[in-house]
Structure 1
């Protein structure tokens, strides 16, 4: 309800140009009105002063006449002078300094009252001259305009009736009012035109700001819509700056995607962190190597700073926060030897105190070269053993004519066992070859890993019971990924068979998915058995490699089970590592991609 009413409410708001126009318009009207009123008042005052000046001149002229005339002839001179005056209905009064009326042109209306308190008389006594614009006479009952002049021995006061003629005479000229109104209307029209153009520019600029805020593209004709003035020029510069920033942002985004792609496909573990040790970006190898170096599985990447092997890196970062570092001090490198692998760990501090940590497994290339060198030799050796056994038994049967039937039966059974072993060996070699040469042709489908592992546990239940092995399956239901069912089955089945065959009796096997992100599941397959010496850990996935060769052959192993596991994991976009558990036993940590 509130959201719907907001747009309607906004429509009633005045635009900036309208507000500017109205505010300046009102100020202009107030100024023009004040000036006009002031001018009107000044003109009225000017006309009053002009009339007062005329009456003052009359008073002075009359005074000069009286000074040349004897006192006995004043009445006749005054009456004659007033009657000859061009001003009609002029009233003249002569008052002594004490306020007593000595003469009034209206003789029959002479008042016995003292005139000293009259305003024009008081002004004349103080300033020699005085006037009163409109006051009703107590003598005649008619309003007059009075003008008095003090000549020392007496005061001459002249007055005109304040009638319509005098009112019109004193009224201000209104022609300038019409002129002021006309000028005001012209200025308002010009200012309205100016504010309209200004409002158009501001409206266009507001539209641009809204689109820029929503990260929408700017129309090409928007720049030409601005007026050709300073605001339009500024607006065009702002749009050009925005376009350059947008192009730069798009270029940076492309470079960022390149960097992320490079980071994810890099052959070393890379992690970028803020100065507060918060993860910005890490790749899969960084997580894998961190878990391999750590004694316990890390649920979050930030936990590496609590791993003792990274203590030197942590101290180096803390030093960078406490004091500025020189150019040569912004990088640190250390070697970590853990679980049969050697890692080079480097940390680089950036200008804003964010930093990058890289973990490089320097044993990997060497291991691959050694594996390739020994592969042919191992295949020949592994094939030679069952073939030699079969040949020996068959030669004994052929060369001994009186060989007992029971002995012959035993030799034939042993030949059959060795042929089965040879068959399994050839099958495993075929599987590995198929994974090496035709990995892209393997069919993929949706596989429920939780259900698959549950089926394997049920299949080996008797073997587990014979050796008193307890399986703790901590996988949550419905862990779905896209993969090949047979290869995923071989991963968990070979790891299970390996634990049953070599870990010992009275142990526990823990299967868990300890972490998940948008690309990978992180699995752990651990047992509490006898474990493996550290020098064997990084060779467990080699083809035909055995920790105890005699015992492995006795148990019927081909030496290819973990190699198949590793290749199957690689085909499913993951990585796998082996390490000794902190509480004893062997743990395999591996990842499987959700989509391939």
Structure 2
């Protein structure tokens, strides 16, 4: 089935306006033509009435009309002259001597009797068998009628001036041309709207050039629609991007939870089996006091490791899944470090390291005190457990309007470069046997990284240029004074 032909907005608008304009022109020309013809008819009637009055004067003076008088008074020999009384009887006919019928019912005679004068255009003469233009004038008991043959010459005289009509038509064509270009200009805005809609449907609106739009209301409307569509497009893209990021984040959380659950199950087996083995041995056997104490100490260490693991799992879960439950307040970093140092001083000599702190008393960050404590505590415990060094150095090395930058390193042996990118992963161990023997949970450095990120900071690890492992991290400054 053939598709229905569609006309553009410009074609429709031009057609409607053009038809309306031509109708107005036609009506105007018709009225003007009719008025001009009436004017010429009245002008001719006026001229003939002049002759009628001259002849009426002649009749009033002489009491009669003759052909000699008519020829003398009227220079145009084609004009017929008829003299009648008020009853319509013909008293004289210049071009006919035979008896003529009563003229009382003739239109021009009736009008002359009623109004003093009258005329008739193109009525067929019963005497001459020609069409004439009749003009009659009445005075007293006499009526004079003059008649001019309606021939080609008279028709041309009474017709309208064609030059005027041609001028009007020419002016109309010029106006049409101007109208076409004006409508073309107006339709640019509509065309732009149509173009925007098509480009939006085809997803190619980025190629649209708004500089080509007209500087009018339609152009402004097109620009507004373009801006609204672009904004909606950007919002949609941003929404899709956010949804993709949220979906990826949710999948990543599920993956991490699954991995965490799997790792926790694996990590729980060792202390649980150790505790179970110790108690089974104690219950099933009579053992010396020293052996019983050794088994109880071993079970206690496994229980402590299990407790530490559960605490670390709880903390890292709160950081990742329950951030809103962690209160935020100004935290004095020096106080936190000093508190940890006092606890480390109580460790056994083989588990102690010298801690050198270069942090001013007024260094305060905006954060959660438990997490700030976890950052420094886990870094210190990690150095004590694995570095093999004797000294730890903590300093605030840089400050700007928003953050403090901290440097933490030890003078131990450091680690191989291949492990630097992985030590923040959960349950990642460089030396599995040594880590478990030291009582580590495998979550310490992962807690450190997540706690730093919770405070909108960043952390990196590297081997110190002299010795040991070095951590550089930032924490957000507080804008409030600590009470």
Question: Take 2:222 and 2:140, find their aligned partners in 1: how far apart are those partners?
Answer: 78
Q: What is the CA–CA distance in structure 2 between the aligned matches of 1:211 and 1:204, rounded to whole Å? A: 10
Q: Deviations over 1:526-547 (max 9, x none)?
A: xxxxxxxxxxxxxxxxxxxxxx
**CA distance 1:96–1:257, shift in 2 (3 Å):** same
Matches within 5 A, 1:399-414: none
Pick the aligned partner of 1:75 from 65, 77, 81.
65
Q: Give the counterpart of 1:251 among 232, 238, 245.
A: 238
Aligned to 2:110: 122
Contact 1:109 1:140 in 2 (8 A): no
Contact 1:135 1:143 in 2 (8 A): yes
Q: How does 1:433-444 map to 2 (within 5 A)?
A: none
Contact 1:92 1:158 in 2 (8 A): yes
Which whole-Å CA distance do the structure 1 matches of 2:276 and 2:205 have between them? Answer: 71
Q: Deviations over 1:309-351 (max 9, x none)?
A: xxxxxxxxxxxxxxxxxxxxxxxxxxxxxxxxxxxxxxxxxxx
For 2:164 and 2:98, locate their aligned partners in 1 and report how far apart those are by CA, in whole Å. Answer: 43
Residue 183 of structure 1 pairs with residue 77 of structure 2: no
Map residues 239-388 of structure 1 onto 2, 5 A cutoff: 239-257=226-244, 378-388=272-282
TM-score (norm. length: structure 2):
0.52
Please give the alpha-carbon distance, in whole angstroms, between the structure 1 residues aligned to 2:167 and 2:65.
51
CA RMSD of aligned residues (A): 3.5
1:162 and 2:150 matched: yes
SS in structure 2 of the partner of residue 103 of structure 1: strand
Asked if the contact 1:145–1:161 (Cα under 8 Å) also holds between the matched residues in 2, the reply is: yes
How far 1:84 moved relative to its partner?
3.9
Q: Quick one: structure 1 residues 172 and 265, their matched pair in 2 at CA, closer, same or farther if it must change by over 3 Å?
A: same
- Residue 123 of structure 2 is matched in structure 1 by 135
Describe the SS at the equivalent of 1:132. Answer: strand
Give secondary structure in 1 for the equivalent of 2:205. Answer: coil
CA distances 1:335-393 after superposition (whole Å, capped 9, x unpaired): xxxxxxxxxxxxxxxxxxxxxxxxxxxxxxxxxxxx9xx99985444102443577569
Q: Which residue of 1 aligns with 2:55?
A: 62
- SS across alignment from 1:89: coil
The one of 197, 221, 227 equivalent to 1:209 is 197
Change (3 A) 1:109 1:239: farther
Partner secondary structure for residue 93 of structure 1: strand
C-alpha distance after superposition, 1:489-529 (max 9, x if no partner): xxxxxxxxxxxxxxxxxxxxxxxxxxxxxxxxxxxxxxxxx
Alignment of 1:531-546 (within 5 A): none
Gaps of 5+ in 2: 258-264, 289-305, 314-483
Structure 1: gaps (5+ residues): 268-284, 286-370, 396-428, 437-596
Q: 1:195 aligns with which of 147, 159, 183?
A: 183
Contact preservation (8 Å) 2:51, 2:74: no
Quick one: structure 1 residues 53 and 153, their matched pair in 2 at CA, closer, same or farther if it must change by over 3 Å? same
Q: Counterparts of 1:15 and 1:47 in 2: how far apart (Å)? A: 47
CA drift of 1:149 comes to 1.3
> C-alpha displacement at 1:177, in angstroms?
1.4
- The residue aligned with 1:465 is none
- The alignment of Structure 1 onto Structure 2 pairs a total of residues equal to 281
Q: After superposition, what is the alpha-carbon deviation per residue over 1:27-71, rounded to whole angstroms, capped at 9, x for unaligned?
A: 22222122222222221111111101111122122222322x232
Q: Check 1:266–1:153 CA distance in 2 against 1; reply closer, same or farther (3 A cut).
A: farther
What is the match of residue 14 of structure 1? 7
Q: CA deviation at 1:262?
A: 6.8
Return the offset for 1:120: 0.8
The structure 2 residue matched to 1:88, chosen from 77, 92, 107, is 77
Task: Give secondary structure in 2 for the equivalent of 1:243.
Answer: helix
Contact 2:70 2:94 in 1 (8 A): no
* Cα displacement (A) at 1:115: 0.5
Counterpart check, 1:230 vs 2:185: no
What secondary structure, in the 3-state scheme, does the structure 2 residue paired with 1:146 have? strand
Counterpart-to-counterpart distance in 2, 1:240 and 1:129: 77
1:50 aligns with 2:43: yes
Helix, strand or coil at the partner of 2:113: helix
Are 2:10 and 2:184, in contact at CA under 8 Å, matched by a contact in 1?
yes
Specify whether residues 109 and 230 from structure 1 end up closer, same or farther in structure 2 by C-alpha distance, changes over 3 A only.
farther
8 Å contact from structure 2 (residues 196, 208) kept in 1? no
How far does residue 174 in structure 1 lie from its aligned partner after superposition?
Answer: 0.6
CA distance in 2, matches of 1:88, 1:227: 71
Q: CA deviation at 1:153?
A: 1.0
Using the alignment, how far apart are the partners of 1:51 and 1:376 within structure 2? Answer: 133
Alpha-carbon distance in 1 for matches of 2:65, 2:271: 162
Q: Shift of the alpha carbon at 1:101?
A: 0.7
Q: Is the contact made by 1:17 and 1:196 (CA closer than 8 Å) also made in structure 2? A: yes
Against the structure 1 CA distance between its residues 104 and 253, is the aligned structure 2 distance closer, same or farther, given a 3 Å change threshold?
same
Find the residue that maps to 1:219 and give its secondary structure: helix
Q: 1:97 aligns with which of 86, 97, 102?
A: 86
1:213 CA displacement:
4.0
